[in-house]
Amino acid sequence: MRGGLVVVFLWFGLSQVTAPGNWISWVPEWTSALMSAETIVLLNGAFEVILALALAAGFMTRWAALLLSLHLLLIAYEVGYNDIGVRDFGLAIATLSLFFFEPDQYTLDRKWNRA
The C-alpha atoms of residue 34 and residue 1 are separated, in whole angstroms, by 35
Print the domain residue range for 60: 2-26+36-111
The answer to the question of residue 31 being in a domain is no
Summarised one tens digit per residue, pLDDT across range 5-36 is 999 999 999 999 999 999 999 999 999 999 99
Instruction: Give the total number of structural domains in the chain.
Output: 1
pTM summary value: 0.91
With a cut of 60, say whether residue 41 has pLDDT above it.
Answer: yes
Question: Is residue 50 assigned to a domain?
Answer: yes
64 in Cβ contact with 99 (< 8 Å) = no
pLDDT digits (tens, 9 = 90+) for 95-113: 999 999 988 899 999 988 8
Residue 43 lies in a domain: yes
